[in-house]
């Protein structure tokens, strides 16, 4: 595991590394401004790299508070962006006019020049409108959540929260749209010009450098100014991230609970209970739990888009899956390296007897690898498989409780009926199923139904009610089979 360090020292170290690759100082500004907010949010917390949840929670809380302040200010401004946006936009337009439009020749000679400059001004105006529209859309979504009209997801993405907490006008910075790409190309040229770069692979790299310079020239030729925001945050893996985000990043920053999952589940339960009612009544063609139909319901309910919500949110039928998955046998046989956790056994394979020795932090990492799409070890296929399996099993359990009663899934009591103990929970379930699917000697159809008997299940065993003789037609093997033994117990 990593050594214990303070968040403050992590930030300082990160800033030093960033400046070496950031001659324009963009990331350094992020450290000084956004980074300071982060430090304030986690002041007093000294943490191991692996013990990051408390630090991330404190950081998120600080940025969420900043976002609420932004929402409040927009409402005070009757929906407009704050005054810092206005000042920066006005200053930029005045500069564009002074260095562009005003320098165009007078009369017809300057018409084309003025048209080009007006187009640039219009483009910037449209950009400012887009910024306002995107921030406003998130503001309105937040207000629906605050009013109880929508449910916010429990999933927390530190990057998205940091962006929301940084989109105020004071933190905004105007910069060229292509600046980041230009910087990357310039860094590549510097690398190629180094003695190591020029000789790598043999020969001079002059032509390659010239091609990269042409790309830079094209990018610089059309490099309009746009708003950007410097953010600094610690992600769920404990890594400090500093970056400049732009308009394209202001999308889907507030995840909401996918209520279609819970509503769809209730509909599926209703369908299953309708099927059970027919099976209990012995309707021809009805049947017990259908495995393939259950799998199809799970596949229809859980998909790549709502997977994260399924893992992190409560959907009316169980606690979030992330809170229930910790001891799941799925982890047995996985590798420590694949999950990014510390090996506690003799080899890289996780064995069942090693589970108790895995640290709490690493157990959290194990669940994150299945539930957090931002985790570097995230396996979407496996995550989806587990979520659908969970949905399937919950639905099957609902079906069994509906058919066999609540006692069927009561693991705290191994007696059934009262006074008859069973060695295992599975033995008890088998006894309940036997009792409710097999008429007792002398038991009428009415008595069988009143005790909760399942006529369709009895019919599957070849036991049917003969209304002419008012008795049960039973298969020949019954006289020596388990049914008689069960009745005699």
pLDDT tens, residue by residue, 449-473: 999 999 999 999 999 999 999 999 9
- Arithmetic mean of pLDDT, 270-294: 95
pLDDT in the model for residue 475: 65
Q: Say what angle helices 380-404 and 291-301 make with each other, to 10 degrees.
A: 130
pLDDT number for residue 149: 96
Task: Say what the pTM is.
Answer: 0.76
Averaged over 343-351, what is the pLDDT? 91
Angle between helix 259-281 and 291-301 (nearest 10): 160
33 phi/psi in degrees, rounded to 5: -100, -70
Dihedral, 413, 414, 417, 422 alpha carbons, nearest 10: -170
pLDDT at 79: 85
- Assigned token pair, 410: 């009561």
- CA 489 centroid distance within chain: 52
- Helices (H), strands (E): how many in the chain? 20, 7
Degrees to nearest 5, angle at CA 132 with 128 and 135: 135
pLDDT(40) > 50: no
Q: What confidence score (pLDDT) does residue 19 get?
A: 34
In this prediction, residue 424 has a pLDDT band, given cuts at 50, 70 and 90, of very high
Q: Is the pLDDT of residue 202 over 90?
A: no
Q: What CA–CA distance (Å, rounded) separates 390 from 62? A: 35
The CA dihedral of 479, 480, 484, 486, to the nearest 10 degrees, is -160
The pLDDT assigned to 484 comes to 42
Mean pLDDT of the chain: 84
């Amino acid at each position: 595991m990593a050594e214990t360090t303070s968040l403050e020292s992590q930030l300082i170290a990160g800033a030093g590394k960033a400046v070496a690759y950031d001659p324009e100082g963009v990331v350094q500004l992020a450290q000084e401004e956004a980074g300071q907010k982060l430090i304030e949010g986690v002041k007093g917390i000294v943490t191991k790299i692996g013990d990051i949840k408390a630090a991330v929670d404190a950081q998120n809380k600080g940025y969420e508070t900043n976002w609420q302040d932004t929402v409040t200010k927009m409402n005070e401004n009757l929906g407009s962006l704050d005054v810092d946006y206005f000042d920066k936009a006005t200053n930029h337009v005045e500069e564009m006019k002074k260095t562009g439009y005003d320098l165009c020749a007078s009369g017809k000679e300057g018409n084309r020049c003025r048209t080009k400059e007006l187009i640039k001004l219009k483009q910037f105006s449209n950009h400012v409108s887009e910024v306002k529209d995107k921030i406003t859309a998130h503001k309105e979504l937040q207000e629906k959540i605050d009013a109880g009209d929508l449910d916010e997801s429990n999933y927390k993405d530190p990057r998205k929260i940091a962006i929301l907490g940084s989109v105020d006008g004071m933190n905004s910075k105007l910069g060229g749209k292509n600046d980041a790409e230009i910087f990357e190309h310039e860094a590549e040229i510097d690398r190629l010009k180094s003695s190591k770069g020029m000789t790598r692979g043999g020969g001079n790299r002059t032509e390659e450098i010239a091609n990269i310079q042409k790309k830079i020239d094209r990018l610089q030729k059309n490099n309009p100014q746009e708003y950007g925001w410097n953010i600094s945050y610690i992600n769920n893996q404990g890594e400090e991230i500093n970056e400049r985000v732009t308009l394209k990043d202001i999308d889907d920053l507030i995840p909401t609970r996918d209520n279609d999952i819970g509503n769809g589940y209730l509909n599926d339960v209703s369908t299953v209970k309708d099927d059970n009612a027919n099976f209990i009544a012995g309707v021809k063609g009805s049947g017990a739990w259908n495995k393939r139909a259950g799998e199809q319901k799970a596949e229809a309910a859980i998909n790549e888009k709502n997977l994260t919500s399924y893992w992190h949110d409560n959907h009316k039928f169980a606690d979030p899956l992330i809170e229930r998955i910790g001891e799941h046998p799925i982890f047995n046989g996985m590798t420590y390296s694949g999950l990014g956790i510390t090996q506690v056994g003799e080899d890289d394979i996780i064995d069942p007897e090693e589970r108790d020795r895995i640290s709490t932090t690493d157990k959290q990492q194990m669940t994150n690898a299945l539930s957090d799409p931002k985790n570097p070890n995230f396996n979407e296929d496996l995550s989806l498989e587990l979520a659908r399996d969970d949905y399937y099993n919950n639905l099957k359990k609902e079906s069994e409780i509906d058919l066999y009663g609540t006692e069927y899934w009561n693991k705290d009591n191994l007696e059934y009926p009262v006074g008859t103990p069973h060695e295992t929970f599975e033995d008890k379930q088998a006894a309940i199923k036997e009792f409710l699917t097999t008429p007792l000697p002398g038991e009428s159809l009415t008595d069988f139904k009143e005790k909760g008997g399942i006529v369709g299940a009895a019919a599957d065993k070849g036991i049917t009610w003969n209304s002419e003789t008012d008795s049960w037609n039973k298969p020949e093997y019954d006289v020596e089979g388990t049914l008689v033994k069960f009745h005699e117990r």
